[in-house]
């Protein structure tokens, strides 16, 4: 279970927000100290900390015992951080151990340069998935457990392709239908995804998230040097590619492609992408009609302010206990009004199928 990623990496800066004073410390509402241009890591950790099914699974006693038994470095460190953020009493903590664990696997993060939050998110989820595959048993700890969990002691061999709570929650599937424009021969293939990287319409200051999704799923034709070999014609032909959503994920992560090139110049698109906080509907993009629930609720946002070469990451997350939104600017945490979640700084949007219920965590 791997995901591809390729984006430019923005660098450090600051952010300000109109907010409400934080009345008292709440479980899951904990600031993270910046250890030197680590705002990209802190923002991603806050979003994962707000993903209730993932937190429930990792903080389950059975999961923690298995992770310790198999010496799963990244997962164990992440669990300890979740314990501090959900069960601890401090209003802030330092994710230094989590950063070291990530750096030990991916040396490109082992410096004090700003990195791309989307790349870090994918690397971290892949590392958690790889660790969880090594565990022999997976506990049930959610109201609606993943389909691959049939009882508390179901054995799950640690083999390539085996499901984990990470793949169950975050993995979806796209379908590709290719059509030879000469003989009309069709071929079909599928590809798993974790994050959908959505293009933003050019030459506009405002658009909708549906516009970005429509642009991603629109038909395209490969011509010239990009022609594909037609198995019927026996030669390369112009080929139309139709992309659709085969399997919507439980957690939908949408990456807005704000960083790119215009000619030889690197640039950031500051387009204000208007997104739904409730009832994001993916039905128009399904490969076939489905009875599955494909309407999503927003629960976390990674924001980026500034330019390509000077910027700062923060996170906006909805707490499942208080049902309020909070802005996480490294160690500074403040409650924010719902109307402030929408902004032109949105970079990664995290949606769930329905709002999360109160977390079922022992000791909470």
In this prediction, residue 73 has a pLDDT band, given cuts at 50, 70 and 90, of: confident
Q: Which two tokens stand for residue 180?
A: 């030879």
Q: Is there a catalytic annotation at residue 293?
A: no
Q: What is d(CA 156, CA 133) in angstroms, rounded to the nearest whole number?
A: 8
Backbone angles phi, psi at 272, to 5 degrees: -80, 105
Q: Which letter, b or e, does each residue of 130-156 get, where b requires 16 or more Cβ atoms within 10 Å of its Cβ?
A: bbbbbbebbbbbbeebbeebeeeeeeb
Helix (H) or strand (E) holding 66: helix 61-69
Backbone dihedral angles phi then psi of residue 142, each to the nearest 5 degrees: -125, 160
Report d(CA 169, CA 52) in Å as an integer.
11
Residue of 30, 39, 72, 212 with catalytic role: 39
- Pairwise CA distance, residues 42 & 329, whole Å: 8
In a domain, 59, yes or no: yes
Largest CA distance in the chain: 69
- Residue 17 counted as domain residue: no
CB atoms within 10 A of CB 196: 20
Confirm whether 46 is domain-assigned: yes
Residue with tokens 């600031």: 31
Question: What pLDDT sits at residue 157?
Answer: 36
Question: Is 300 within the bounds of a domain?
Answer: yes
User: What phi and psi, each to the nearest 5 degrees, are found at residue 122?
Assistant: -70, -45
Query: Does residue 35 fall inside a structural domain?
Result: yes
Q: In angstroms, how far is CA 271 from the centroid of its own chain?
A: 21
With CA atoms as reference, report the closest residue to 89 among 26, 21, 42: 26
Domains: count for the chain: 1
Asked if residue 21 lies in contact with residue 271, where contact means CB atoms within 8 angstroms, the answer is: no
Q: Is the dihedral of CA 321, 255, 35, 54 positive or negative?
A: positive
> In angstroms, rounded to a whole number, what is the distance separating the alpha carbons of residues 199 and 287?
20
| C-alpha span between 319 and 303 (Å, rounded) | 17
Choosing from 30, 304, 312, 317, the catalytic residue is 312
Phi, psi of 210 (to 5 degrees): -60, -35
Mean pLDDT along residues 72-76: 87
Of 190 and 152, the structure prediction assigns the larger pLDDT to 190
- Which of the four pLDDT bands, split at 50, 70 and 90, describes residue 136? low
Q: Tell me whether residue 312 is one of the annotated catalytic residues.
A: yes
Is residue 198 domain-resident? yes
Checking DSSP bridges between strand 295-306 and strand 280-281, what pairing results, if any? antiparallel
- Amino acid 339: pLDDT: 92
Residue 101: exposure state from Cβ atoms within 10 A (0-12, 13-18, ≥19): buried
In a domain, 180, yes or no: yes
| pLDDT for res 62 | 87
Query: How far is residue 20's CA from residue 36's CA, in Å, rounded to a whole number?
Result: 27
Residue-wise pLDDT tens digits, 278-332: 999 999 999 887 766 678 999 999 999 988 777 899 999 999 999 999 999 999 9
pTM of the entire predicted model = 0.87
Categorize the per-residue pLDDT at 161 as very low, low, confident or very high, splitting at 50, 70 and 90. Answer: low
Average pLDDT, the chain: 84
Q: Each residue of 314-334: b (16+ CB within 10 Å) or e? A: bbbbbbbeeebbbbbbbebbb
The pLDDT confidence band at residue 110, using thresholds 50, 70 and 90, is low
Which residues pair with residue 186 across a beta bridge?
Answer: 179
Q: pLDDT tens across 187-240, in order?
A: 999 999 999 999 999 889 999 999 999 999 999 999 999 999 999 999 999 999
CATH code at 188? Answer: 3.90.70.10
Instruction: Quote the strand ranges of the chain, DSSP E.
Output: 31-32, 92-93, 172-180, 186-193, 195-198, 206-208, 220-222, 228-229, 236-237, 239-247, 251-256, 259-262, 265-268, 272-274, 280-281, 295-306, 311-318, 325-329, 332-336, 346-352
Provide the residue range defining the domain that includes 66: 31-353
Q: Is 330 within a domain?
A: yes
107 pLDDT tier (thresholds 50, 70, 90) = confident
pLDDT of residue 280: 95
Q: Are 151 and 140 in contact (CB under 8 A)?
A: yes
Of residues 83, 121, 80, 82, the one with CA closest to residue 102: 121
């Amino acid at each position: 279970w791997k995901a591809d990623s390729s984006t430019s990496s923005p660098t450090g800066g600051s952010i300000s927000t109109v907010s409400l004073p934080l009345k008292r410390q709440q479980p899951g509402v904990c600031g993270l100290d910046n250890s030197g241009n680590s705002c990209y890591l802190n923002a991603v950790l806050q979003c994962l900390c707000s993903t209730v099914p993932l937190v429930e699974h990792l903080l389950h006693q059975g999961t923690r015992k298995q992770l310790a038994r198999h010496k799963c470095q990244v997962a164990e460190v992440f669990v300890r951080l979740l314990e501090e953020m959900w069960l601890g009493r401090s209003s802030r903590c330092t994710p230094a151990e989590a950063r070291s664990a990530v750096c030990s696997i991916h040396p490109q993060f082992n410096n004090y340069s700003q990195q791309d939050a989307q790349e870090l998110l994918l690397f971290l989820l892949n590392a958690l998935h790889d660790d969880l595959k090594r565990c022999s048993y997976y506990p049930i700890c959610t109201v609606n457990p993943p389909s691959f969990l049939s009882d508390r002691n179901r054995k799950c061999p640690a083999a390539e392709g085996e499901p984990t709570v990470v793949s169950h929650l975050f993995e979806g599937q796209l379908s590709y239908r290719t059509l030879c424009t000469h003989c009309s021969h069709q071929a079909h293939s599928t590809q798993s995804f974790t994050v959908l990287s959505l293009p933003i319409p050019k030459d506009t200051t405002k658009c909708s998230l549906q516009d970005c999704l429509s642009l991603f799923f629109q038909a395209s034709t490969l011509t010239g040097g990009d022609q594909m070999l037609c198995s019927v014609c026996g030669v390369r032909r112009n080929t139309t590619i139709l992309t659709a959503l085969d399997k919507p994920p439980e957690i939908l992560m949408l990456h807005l492609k704000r960083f790119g090139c215009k000619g030889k110049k690197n640039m950031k698109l500051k387009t204000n992408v208007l997104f739904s906080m409730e009832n994001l509907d993916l039905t128009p993009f399904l490969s076939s009609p489905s009875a599955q629930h494909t309407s999503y609720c927003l629960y976390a946002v990674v924001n980026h302010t500034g330019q390509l070469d000077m910027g700062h990451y923060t996170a906006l997350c909805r707490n499942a206990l208080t049902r309020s939104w909070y802005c996480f600017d490294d160690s500074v945490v403040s409650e924010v009004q719902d109307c402030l979640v929408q902004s032109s700084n949105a970079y990664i949007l995290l949606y769930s199928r329905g709002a999360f219920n109160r977390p079922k965590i022992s000791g909470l």
